[in-house]
């Protein structure tokens, strides 16, 4: 069993406790990098800039979304290349989400942080995150990742640890932060990876600790998440095509729940769908086909090569063509089609979705206008 420490879910008035009251939590996966999540040159106005992402976040909050999420990745000059220089510009997710939290009043902001790169120390991140938690008034979350790519650690002058060893180190890192956030006394700690003498941070986070998230798709990842995370951000084990994913997800989400049950806990599981929604099914599929027809083939090839050099357990069944639209799964159709798909995801054990769009601003507005009322009618949103 894991150590019993207070989490945001133990406080009925915490932003996370309010968010999980929704039958299906809604999040927005922000395009804080060039090209967002879709490798196509079909025209759009999606932009990586802070100003653009601030507009999206404020709109998502106004529409009642529960959280926004920001990605972390380290790429070389030119990003993944191609006509659009995919992911060449990349806002730091920690700084971005903290800044967004100061512009908003209700929505949760979640930052992805790789805790194993460079000389990042748990004492530093514990103070950074506690400060972010106060700026956000309890609406700040850390998505802890360990890095699957073979090249990223080289940028930091490091070799990549083995897959499961990375989670061992991340678990020690998170344990130290949790002890510091609890703040019962100065901390002396001598572990396998970290040593601290008389370490302390103050003030305490507002609701026990910041919200903790884990992006996981492996048994080692699920075990880490069960010890440390409120939310598991997972991927489809059967690729991005919805009809294939929906058959594989129940067993996948059950494996996550069993890992949490071993720790006496219950997870909240979220997934990333890329949604193409239009007034009619025919329009939605025509839009999808137009986006796919202008695939940025060069950047897709570069991204695929990078992924093959990694050791991630997620996305094993994803194929290069999935990258044109992006997303862990893809939902295409009219508003009722989208609601039906989200309802199926919920039945398959998914507690929330962080949605991506191709052209974010107008498509988010249309989703709010056409889909949200139907989700409420179906009882998926309160």
Angle at 94 between CA 170 and CA 354, to 5 degrees: 85
How far apart, in Å, are the Cα atoms of 101 and each of 54, 67, 111, 187? 10, 10, 11, 30
- Reply yes or no on whether the pLDDT at 69 is more than 50: yes
pLDDT computed for residue 320 by the predictor: 79
Question: H/E/C letters for each residue in 310-365?
Answer: CCCCCCCCCCHHHHHCCCCEEEEECHHHHHHHHHHHHHCCCCEEEEECCCHHHHHH
* pLDDT for residue 270 is more than 70: yes
Confidence tier at 304 by pLDDT (50, 70, 90) = confident
Mean pLDDT on 265-285: 97
Q: Which residue has the higher pLDDT, 198 or 320?
A: 198
- C-alpha torsion angle, residues 375, 379, 380, 382 (rounded to 10): 90
Residue 253 near residue 306 (C-beta atoms within 8 A): no
Average pLDDT over the chain, rounded to whole?
A: 94
Q: What is the model's pLDDT at position 309?
A: 63
Query: Which pairs with CB-CB distance under 8 Å and at least 24 residues apart come from 42-45?
Result: 42/290, 42/291, 42/293, 42/294, 42/358, 44/358, 44/359, 45/359, 45/361, 45/362
Share of the chain above pLDDT 70, in %: 96
pLDDT (0 to 100) of residue 1: 37
Q: What's the mean pLDDT in 146-164?
A: 88
Residue pLDDT, tens place only, 100-118: 999 999 999 999 999 999 9
In the chain, what percentage of residues exceed pLDDT 90? 87
Q: How many Å apart are CA 260 and CA 143, to the nearest integer?
A: 17
pLDDT tens-digit map of 168-197: 999 999 999 999 999 999 999 999 999 999
pLDDT 10s digits, 273-282: 999 999 999 9
Rounded CA gap, 178 and 165, in Å? 20
């Amino acid at each position: 069993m894991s150590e019993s420490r207070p989490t945001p879910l133990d406080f009925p008035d915490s932003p996370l406790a309010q968010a999980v009251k929704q039958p299906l939590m809604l999040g927005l996966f922000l395009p804080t990098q060039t090209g967002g999540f879709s490798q196509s040159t079909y025209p759009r106005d999606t932009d990586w800039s802070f100003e653009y992402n601030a507009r999206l976040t404020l709109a998502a909050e106004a529409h009642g979304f529960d959280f926004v999420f920001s990605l972390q990745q380290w790429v070389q000059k030119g990003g993944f290349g191609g006509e659009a220089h995919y992911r060449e510009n990349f806002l730091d997710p920690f700084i971005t989400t903290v800044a967004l939290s100061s512009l908003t009043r209700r929505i949760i902001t979640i930052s992805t942080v790789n805790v194993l790169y460079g000389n990042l120390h748990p004492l530093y991140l514990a103070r950074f995150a506690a400060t972010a938690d106060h700026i956000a008034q309890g609406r700040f979350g850390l998505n802890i990742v360990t890095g699957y790519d073979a090249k990223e650690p080289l940028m930091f002058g490091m070799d990549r640890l083995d897959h499961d060893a990375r989670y061992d180190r991340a678990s020690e890192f998170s344990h130290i932060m949790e002890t510091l956030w609890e703040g019962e006394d100065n901390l002396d700690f001598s572990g396998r990876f970290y040593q601290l003498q008389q370490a302390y941070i103050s003030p305490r986070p507002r609701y026990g600790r910041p919200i903790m998230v884990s992006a996981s798709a492996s048994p080692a990842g699920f075990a880490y998440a069960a010890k440390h995370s409120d939310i598991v951000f997972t991927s489809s084990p059967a690729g991005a095509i919805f009809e294939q994913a929906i058959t594989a997800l129940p067993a996948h989400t059950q494996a996550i729940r069993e890992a949490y049950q071993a720790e006496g806990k219950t997870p909240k599981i979220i997934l990333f769908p890329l949604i193409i929604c239009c007034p009619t099914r025919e329009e939605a599929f025509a839009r999808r086909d137009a986006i796919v027809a202008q695939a940025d083939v060069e950047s897709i090839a570069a991204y695929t090569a990078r992924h093959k050099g990694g050791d991630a357990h997620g996305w094993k069944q994803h194929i290069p063509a999935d990258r044109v639209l992006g997303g862990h799964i893809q939902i295409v159709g009219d508003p009722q089609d989208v609601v039906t798909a989200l309802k199926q995801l919920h039945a398959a054990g998914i507690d929330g979705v962080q949605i991506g769009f191709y052209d974010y601003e107008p498509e988010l507005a249309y989703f709010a206008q056409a889909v949200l009322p139907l989700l409420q009618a179906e009882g998926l949103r309160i």
